[in-house]
Amino acid sequence: MTKRLILTRHAKSSWDEANVADHERPLNARGRSAAADLGQWLASRGYIPDEVICSDARRTAETWEHLAPALTGAAAPRYTAKLYQAGADVMLAVLKHASGDTVLMLGHNPGIAEFAQRLVARAPLNPEFARFPTAATLVVEFPVESWSDVAYGTGAPDDFIIPKEIEA
């Protein structure tokens, strides 16, 4: 039995409104487009989550809203403040309580980049992996029966993509 994690950083956010709190920053037009493209890319590869765990920040929620239309049959998201600006250890603790076979987790840097690096047994060859830019997505499998058994350094990466690599 294996478990699959789709680990996604929120898409590009807008900095147009100076007085907007970080938690409430929306996506910009490029971010909305990238998220929609990413949803299509995930669907084309059969990466459909049966559980979605999303930071409760506006930009992560909007990323999901633009990903979701392409992901027919995907689970409804569970929004949690625990993933807002979370570090790797907090993200792992949240993941250990997941119940789906394919879990999509939406979060933020710098925590998500560190989390991705620590999860995999070997890093994908993509030079952008360490930076984990906006809307970067890692698909990684774990040879476990339960998410509670996931440990750092045990994930086998299936895919890694950034928006500019997706052909529209």
What pLDDT does 37 receive? 96
Structure tokens at 39: 């949803």
Confidence of residue 1 (pLDDT cuts 50, 70, 90): confident
pLDDT at 72 over 90: yes
Share of the chain above pLDDT 70, in %: 99
pLDDT at 84 over 90: yes
Report pTM.
0.96
| 8 Å CB contact between 91 and 111 | yes
pLDDT in tens, 10-32: 999 998 888 889 999 999 999 99
The conformation of residue 27, written as its DSSP 8-state character, comes to B
Give the residue among 156, 61, 51 at the shortest CA–CA distance from 103.
Answer: 51
Total structural domains in the chain? 1
What pLDDT does 17 receive? 80
What pLDDT does 168 receive? 52
pLDDT at 167 over 70: no
Domain range for 53 is 3-165
Hey, is 78 helix, strand or coil? strand
pLDDT in tens, 40-68: 999 999 999 999 999 999 999 999 999 99
CA gap 10, 108 in Å, rounded: 6
- The answer for residues whose C-beta is within 8 angstroms of residue 57's C-beta and 6 or more apart is 10, 22, 23, 24, 25, 84, 108
Confidence of residue 74 (pLDDT cuts 50, 70, 90): very high
pLDDT at 151 over 60: yes
Task: Provide the CATH number for the domain around residue 120.
Answer: 3.40.50.1240
- The answer for residues whose C-beta is within 8 angstroms of residue 94's C-beta and 6 or more apart is 53, 80, 82, 83, 86, 105
pLDDT: is 86 or 15 the higher one?
Answer: 86
pLDDT: is 101 or 168 the higher one?
Answer: 101
